[in-house]
Structure 1
């Protein structure tokens, strides 16, 4: 069988598209829209039908346009079983193109659902059929990969039950975290492009007594603010749990004595959440759908697009499930209760988070931070002080490994880069902004260890990728190149190649980086055979994160920051895995 080139494949699929012939979506022309139902039903079986449509959505006094699937926000829970084959028919009833990406699911690349990378998208009035075998189990989710539709409700959960029943719990619930805003997503994008601080109401000022005069001068000289935690905040967001705002009093019922599995999914567009159930311990049993050795914690930070499964034994009574936004501008709330109608009282919001010099990539001993043409950039316009050494954590590397990093030669100072971390450090042990000083147990990546041993091979080469940006211009990129500029220059892996990838965050914001079509192993200090598998990794400000990848899923795959407006502004690449197995035969 001969492999079909990506361009020919996309063109052949485009031939079955139906032209829309509509310049402006109907909802924007004042058409009366039905209200989307909050929450989601469950669909299962070998054939599933989904329909994407315009709806209206309201919660907590905020109301606006939404993209609903089967009439709900979020869309339906798709519940499957390991080992089955599934056919999913997706009909687009919008006046614009749409798509569905199956986040974390292993499948043939042509069904991954990324327009322009693996298929042409779903035209208005068209039905696209996804067909793939279910090769895994665990907690995942699905969402649009077209425009900014994900922000406005086009997402939903996936649960894949294992072939053999799991007897560790008595019942399970999906806890899908997200946000709603009355603003159209493109309005938000425009406001961020004009001023990245538009939604930030927690900025420190000259008169703020919490900062020393020396710190004020330093931060002012770098044209940065230590409260620059989140781009979009509770100023416009209402934080949701399963589509319900705090005022909806969402309940998860249980019987005293039960063990409950909570499948926690961060399906938000831009929000990192700190999740806790005050007074109730959580046992983490899976990360990104993959089982890990149990870890007892009281709180954890979940980045955009990550999933964590926990088991809790709450005992009798009502307990607040609290999903506090990382910048502490609001929270999603639900009650875990053994008494229907009893609403748990959530704790108050904690104090806003303030960035430190370590978050600026200055290590733990101070230093200087480059901004624009300031310190940290060489006079030739190249990034200075790039560390090509292998990470100290994890297994040792072969002395014969080839260093394929393009840095520093290919990363030039330009309009897309306004800062560089002069001393980036491995921050796998950092629990997340705002959680490093709390007194209770908080999850760290270094706590994660694969429950089942993974076949391990030593990496054959290493690659270093820098996460770059210009916050004032709201430009985001990999290695200083925005996606539009690198579509014909993908990251290339040979089929079944083993590569160690080091991500270096040269910005002052945390980035959840997601690779489609694969799981990678975090190099987090676990033994070689038990490095945890993930599909999304949070790279902390001014820090590095390293993973080992076996590129054994042939095709073209998206690789991007899962902060929606960062991806939209250019922090995305294409990963190409070649040759296909048929070519290699």
Structure 2
């Protein structure tokens, strides 16, 4: 039995009569497309140039009588880094603002592009109408410089998600933020308060020049330094497994803050906290822990899981975990996301009972950070509910992941996106992606528009195979990712290591609605 006690209701419930099921969101999606971002003549068909915006325009309350809560993401060029890289700011902040809604509400977010280049925003893990998915040249035309557009759909899910650019390597520059969808019953969990922990990685160099360096092209010294082997000790992969790293980072913001001025999470003894832990990095894996506290994992990628006790969680790129902790005695405890294969990591502090903060705060280093006790990853997760797919014809697609480190090109089935043919499937099918990793690197594979079941030969209790949107496929291994094709459109399946994706590891999976019945 879970040790976490019942808490006072923290939020107003939404009546079940206001909730929408998945089939309804697909039907309503076309009715609430606020701006036709797919049309090539978008800027002329619906001219919405970005005007001069006052700071209060981005934070003011939704006007009376407006049917939905409004959010704005004002995307602009940020600080220039020492190695020549430029950050991207959202609403003038160093980290993307949190978007938070309840089931039954309507997601309504206006994106204003003040960059000198085009952009898009993808809503990671959200089951959306295809035109709202934010993938350039697949589900939408990129938003040009100086143009704004609005994404909208009914919220039918709950859980921990995030948003990020799907344009080039803009995510690496900071175009990302947390997206929290609350359920009417706190997802059936009892807790007193919650904390969002949004972990990223940052470069001082231009990430496009770093990709050039990886591919052996001419690149400045700062970009070449980012791919050099580290001279300091690194955080090892659990159990001493080999773990390849393409890019070396020196900074890992958590909620936008570095370890010298970390995010502070306040709590009182014996309270129960829900930690929403997000790996929003471009290519890093994190080993996560809270000093002197046990974790009870209760969700992965926004889906409830069987409670699982542990001390540490290995979180692959783009994965999210929800965990409960029972707060201990007064004191200050380190919350660490050690970056595997790197020399440092992300840090926050849990302050219990108004305890004084230390004068000096050390960044996570292999010499001052120990991971003791049990470590779990996605392979240890089981669903709380049966995830057996509907009885339907089976369609199998073999997806072979390959790469050439010398030329730094990464492929699926021998093809490199964008020079890769779409994979055409049928609607109303149990689709089995048989993923074969023929490389020596881990690949966090992500499927848009669907959750998939992770099916391995060694996994017991197949009925409770977990549902995920991202799964890290180990080197020289095979796994089946199975989903039901009931959300028509053009979707992408790709490695969420941004450098692998930019170098070709992406495929489009496409199907129409003609075969869906019921």
- Normalising by structure 1, report the TM-score: 0.71
Of 128, 133, 136, which residue of structure 1 is paired with 2:149?
128
Deviation, structure 1 residue 540: 0.8
What does residue 18 of structure 2 align with? Answer: none
Shift in Å at residue 227 of structure 1? 7.1
Q: In structure 2, do the counterparts of structure 1 residues 83 and 52 end up closer, same or farther at CA, with 3 Å as the change threshold?
A: same
Matched, 1:538 2:472: yes
Query: Residue 446 and residue 201 in structure 1: after superposition, are their counterparts in 2 closer, same or farther (change >3 A)?
Result: closer
In 2, the alpha carbon distance for the partners of 1:549 and 1:292 equals: 18
What per-residue deviation string (whole Å, max 9, x for no partner) do you get for residues 562-584 of structure 1? 001110000001010223468x7
Picking from 211, 216, 220, the partner of 1:189 is 211
Instruction: Identify the residue that residue 163 of structure 2 maps to in structure 1.
Output: 142
Partner of 2:378: 445
* Equivalent-residue separation in structure 1 for 2:204 and 2:261 (angstroms): 17
Deviation (angstroms), 1:340? 5.0
Give the deviation of 1:243 after TM superposition.
Answer: 0.9
> Secondary structure of the equivalent of 1:124?
coil
Q: Please name the residue that 2:493 is paired with.
A: 559
What is the rounded CA distance, in whole Å, between the counterparts of 2:60 and 2:472 in structure 1? 30
Structure 2 CA distance for partners of 1:454 and 1:348, relative to 1, 3 Å? closer
Describe the shift of the 1:478–1:290 C-alpha distance in structure 2 as closer, same or farther (beyond 3 A): same
Match of 2:394 in 1: 460
Which of 71, 79, 97 is the matching residue for 2:92?
Answer: 71
Give yes or no for the alignment of 1:103 onto 2:142: no
Out of 321, 326, 347, the position equivalent to 1:313 is 326
User: Following the alignment from structure 1 to structure 2, what is the Cα–Cα distance between the partners of residues 332 and 516?
Assistant: 27
- 1:194-209 counterparts in 2 under 5 A? 194=216, 199-202=227-230
Flag the 1:348–1:181 CA change in 2: closer, same or farther, 3 A.
Answer: closer
The match for 1:323 is 337
Structure 1: unaligned runs, 5 residues or longer: 20-35, 205-225, 352-434
Q: Which residue does 1:286 correspond to in 2?
A: 299
User: Are 1:349 and 2:362 counterparts?
Assistant: no
Q: Which residue of 1 aligns with 2:278?
A: 265
Residue pair 2:282, 2:317 contacting (<8 A) in 1 also: yes
- How far residue 463 of structure 1 moved from its aligned partner, in angstroms, is 2.5
Partner SS, residue 150 of structure 1: helix
| Mean CA deviation greater in 509-518 or 65-74 | 65-74
Displacement, 1:260?
A: 0.5
Q: Is the 8 A contact 2:259 2:362 kept in 1?
A: no
Deviation for aligned residue 1:528? 3.6
The answer (yes or no) to whether the contact 2:311–2:372 under 8 Å persists in 1 is no
Which runs of structure 2 are paired with 1:486-501 in the superposition (5 Å)?
486=420, 489-501=421-433
Partner of 1:159: 180
SS at match of 1:503: strand
Aligned position for 1:16: 42
**TM-score normalized with structure 2 length:** 0.80
Q: Rg larger in 1 or in 2? A: 1
Q: 1:282 to 1:16 in 2, by over 3 A?
A: same
* 1:275 matched to 2:288: yes
- Measured in 2, the distance between the counterparts of 1:490 and 1:10 equals 23
Match of 2:114 among 76, 93, 115: 93
Mapped partners of 1:133, 1:296: distance in 2: 34
Aligned residues: 447
Q: Deviations over 1:491-529 (max 9, x none)?
A: 222112102222111111111000000000111424343
Of 129, 135, 148, the residue aligned with 1:114 is 135
- Quick one: structure 1 residues 255 and 563, their matched pair in 2 at CA, closer, same or farther if it must change by over 3 Å? same
Distance in 1 (CA, whole Å) between partners of 2:242 and 2:387 is 40
**Is the CA contact 1:449–1:526 (under 8 Å) kept in the aligned structure 2?**
no
**Whole-angstrom CA distance in 2 between matches of 1:521 and 1:227:** 26
Give the secondary structure class of the aligned counterpart of 1:179.
Answer: coil
Asked if the contact 1:554–1:578 (Cα under 8 Å) also holds between the matched residues in 2, the reply is yes
